Amino acid sequence: MAYPIITISREFGSGGHSIGEKVAEALGVPFYDSKIVTDVVKASGFDADYISDKGEYLSAGSRWFSGLIPNEMYTESPQTKIFNMQCDVILKAAEKGPCVIVGRCADYVLSDNEKYRTLNVFIRADKEHRMERALERYENSNVSIEKRLQQKDKERKNYYSYYTNRTWGDINNYQLCLDSGYLGEEKCVEIIVDAAKAHDK
Amino acid sequence: MAYPIITISREFGSGGHSIGEKVAEALGVPFYDSKIVTDVVKASGFDADYISDKGEYLSAGSRWFSGLIPNEMYTESPQTKIFNMQCDVILKAAEKGPCVIVGRCADYVLSDNEKYRTLNVFIRADKEHRMERALERYENSNVSIEKRLQQKDKERKNYYSYYTNRTWGDINNYQLCLDSGYLGEEKCVEIIVDAAKAHDK
C-alpha cells in the first residue's frame, strides 16, 4: 500500500507551502520544498543564495542563452544546470516513495514516467486573501505587497512555462485546484489528505 | 443560515451534471439544469428543441450578427435572446435562495452582484475517463466518441467566452476544480457538499 506522490503548485501568498507541510505531516511522508532541494543542490558548488534566488525564477539571461546561441555553441546556463539538478533530486525523492513536493515543476518532472503515481494540486486564492497573508510575512518590506504578488506569480509562471512548455495553472494539469481563501487552509489539507488516502494502492 | 449558490461548469463526459444533481439532493436545495431552464424559456415561444440545441452552444450566425452589423442596425440574434432569457431564469432562481445550477454560464451571470454568494465549481476528467462515461450514454451513436468530446468542449468553450469574455476553465474563476476521473463521482459530491456546509451563513 502506498499513497501517491503529491505535488503542490501554488500562487504566491496562497498558503500552498504551509498546506503541503501539513499534508505531509498528516500522511507521515517526507516533505520537499525549496530549502531541501537547495540543500542537496548546493553540495554541487552553487551558492545557496544564488540557488534560492534562481531555483524557481528565470532571469533574462537564461532565455538569451537558449535563444540566440546556435546549438553547437550552446553552453548550459547556470539556471538550466540548477533546474536539471533539481529534477534529479525530485526523481530520487520519488524513487524513495510517497512524499509531498512543493513547487519546482515537480508535477511536470514526474509526468514523463508512468511508474510515479501523482496527485497534482494547485492552490490559489483571490488577491485580497493573498495580500492579507503576504502582509503578515512581509510587513516590514519596502516593496508594495500587490506588486510583490504580481511579480512572484509572473516569475513562477515564466519559469514553469520555460522549462515545461506548459501553462502554469492550466486546469488540465491538476487533479485538484483549491481556493485556499474560500476553503481555508485546514479544509484544503483535509481534501488533499482524503484524496491521497483514496488512492492508497 | 443559507448555503451558497453552487454553479457547476463541466467538461463533456466528466459527470458534472450527475454530481450537481447529487449535491442538490444532499443539501436539499433546488437543482437547475438545461431542462429546467429550457422549460421556462420555451414558454416564451421558442421551440424546445431549438433551445436545447442553441442554449449552450454558439452557431456561426450569432458571431456574424454581433461582429458585422453596426450598433444602430443591430438586431439581437435568437441565440442572444435565449441567452438573456436564461440569465433572467438564473437570476430569479438565485433570488429564491440556495440552489445548484449546472452550465449556462451561471458563474458569470451571478458574478456581477455581490449579494449572490456563490461556490463556483469546475468538473473535468482525463480523456479516457470521459470517453468511457460518454460511451455508456452514446453507445449507439454513429459519431466517434472522441470527436464528440472535442466538439462539445469546443462549443461550450466558444459559447462561454462569447457571452462572458472570460476563458472557459480558467482556474481563477472557480473555488474548486475537481478531476472526477481521479477522485470519483462520490468524492466530488462530498467535497462540494462539505465546502457548501462550511459556508452556511
pLDDT tens for residues A12-67? Answer: 999 999 999 999 999 999 999 987 777 777 777 777 666 666 666 665 444 444 44
Using the predicted structure, report yes or no on whether residue A185 has a pLDDT greater than 60. Answer: yes
Angle, in degrees to the nearest 10, between helices B78-96 and B34-42: 110
Phi, psi of B56 (to 5 degrees): -135, 5
pLDDT on residue A58: 64
Beta-bridge mates of residue B105: none
Beta-bridge mates of residue B176: A178, B121
pLDDT on residue A60: 46
Identify the band that residue A139 occupies on the pLDDT scale cut at 50, 70 and 90.
Answer: low
Chain B residue with CA closest to A176: the answer is B178
Percent of all residues in chain A with a pLDDT value above 90, rounded to a whole number: 53
Using the predicted structure, report yes or no on whether residue A72 has a pLDDT greater than 60. Answer: no
CA distance B168 to B158: 8
Mean pLDDT of A141-165: 86
Kindly give, in sequence order, each residue whose CB lies less than 8 Å from that of residue B121, ignoring residues fewer than 6 positions away: B6, B7, B8, B9, B174, B175, B176, B177, B178, B192
pLDDT on residue B197: 94
Indicate the residue of B171, B175, B194 with minimum beta-carbon distance to A182.
B175
- The ipTM, to two decimals, is 0.84
Q: Which residues of B touch A179 (CB under 8 A)?
A: 174-176
Phi, psi of B177 (to 5 degrees): -120, 120
Contact state of A187 with B170 under an 8 Å Cβ cutoff: no
pLDDT on residue B77: 77
| Segment (H or E) for B6 | strand B5-10
Supply the DSSP string of A136-196, one letter for each residue.
Answer: HHSTT-SS-HHHHHHHHHHHHHHHHHHHHSS-TT-GGG-SEEEEHHHH-HHHHHHHHHHHH
Chain A residue with CA closest to B117: the answer is A182
Q: Which residues of B touch A175 (CB under 8 A)?
A: 178-179, 182-183
pLDDT on residue B14: 94
CA distance A194 to chain B (A): 9
CA distance B140 to B122: 28
Q: Which residues of A touch B191 (CB under 8 A)?
A: 191, 194
pTM of the model: 0.86
CA distance A73 to B157: 44
Q: Using one digit for the tens of pLDDT, what is the confidence trace for B114-150?
A: 888 999 999 999 999 998 888 887 766 667 888 888 8
pLDDT on residue B62: 45
CA distance B43 to chain A (A): 38
pLDDT on residue B189: 97
Indicate the residue of B169, B170, B178 with minimum beta-carbon distance to A176.
B178
Low-confidence ranges of chain B (pLDDT < 70): 1, 48-75, 139-142
The DSSP call for residue A73 is G
